[in-house]
Structure 1
């Protein structure tokens, strides 16, 4: 069964409960979550005039295609009342497909691997915890190596 790695985040309302609810909704929508990272508190990325985030990542087995996974994640965000007003702005829940197996998808509405994941420590750190040897299909490097390189750049 294919595995998908999904990053999640929340910085509005009850952040921990938002994440818990989203994970439960994923399980009910064909994403069998097998591993969840530690949830970390992070500073906002991009648009900085907002509350801190809780971020993490999970690995799920699924029979859904990448487009079907995207459809389900967007439906969960909508069900939970996510409003997209400001790019990189505040959100009660954010669910992003980072990797789907080792495939590369380049469609108008879906890019896998996530095109900016390698620049985001709040994405790579949690993925590194749950799947450090996962090989990025474009950079052909383990996530752990990409995370170490990113930490060096930011110091």
Structure 2
């Protein structure tokens, strides 16, 4: 069975965000695969829809036997299990799990875009991603995560690691 490497972004800003991230980590290990690396947890200002509480964010690298679409379904199942309700795009949420990268694949489907289309535009994604994968090359933009962070125009605040 082929082992795939995926980078996931976790985010939460409702309820007890730190506990939600912890619960998501446990479910990811059960349903998706072994977490190989994890960034620090960062507190970041909301992006997109800014009138909401700050988020806690973390990036993981996970080894999984799941295909990309199976990974998406598992992420959504975990979100649902932890109480995620999808109402407003970029709105407040109990938990959000985004697939940033899957191997070095480029996937452009109705329900799945990999690499994640907003990686290069979001500090809250790039800062934890650079912590664990600074030299990973974006398969479309052909720049490392570090290079993407250097040229990111996002001005929203991302704090030092939150513990």
Note the residue ranges of structure 2 that are not aligned, 5 or more in a row.
156-163
* Residue of structure 2 in register with 1:76 after alignment: 78
Match of 2:92 among 66, 90, 93: 90
Match of 2:139 among 132, 137, 140: 137
Shift of 1:30: 2.7
Distance 1:54 1:99, change over 3 A: same
State the SS of the aligned residue for 1:87: coil
Distance 1:50 1:62, change over 3 A: same
1:1-155 mapped onto 2 (5 Å cutoff): 1-150=3-152, 153-154=153-154
Alignment coverage as a number of residue pairs: 153
CA–CA distance in 2 between the matches of 1:48 and 1:5? 25
CA contact under 8 A between 2:122 and 2:154: conserved in structure 1?
no
Distance 1:16 1:45, change over 3 A: same
State the SS of the aligned residue for 2:11: strand
State the SS of the aligned residue for 2:126: helix
> TM-score of the superposition, structure 1-length normalised?
0.96
Distance 1:154 1:88, change over 3 A: closer
> TM-score of the superposition, structure 2-length normalised?
0.91
Superposition RMSD in Å: 0.9
CA contact under 8 A between 2:123 and 2:154: conserved in structure 1?
no
Note the residue ranges of structure 1 that are not aligned, 5 or more in a row.
none
Q: Deviations over 1:9-56 (max 9, x none)?
A: 000011101000001000001321011101000000111111000011
State the SS of the aligned residue for 1:96: strand
Q: Deviations over 1:97-137 (max 9, x none)?
A: 00001100000000000011110110011010001000000
Shift of 1:154: 4.4
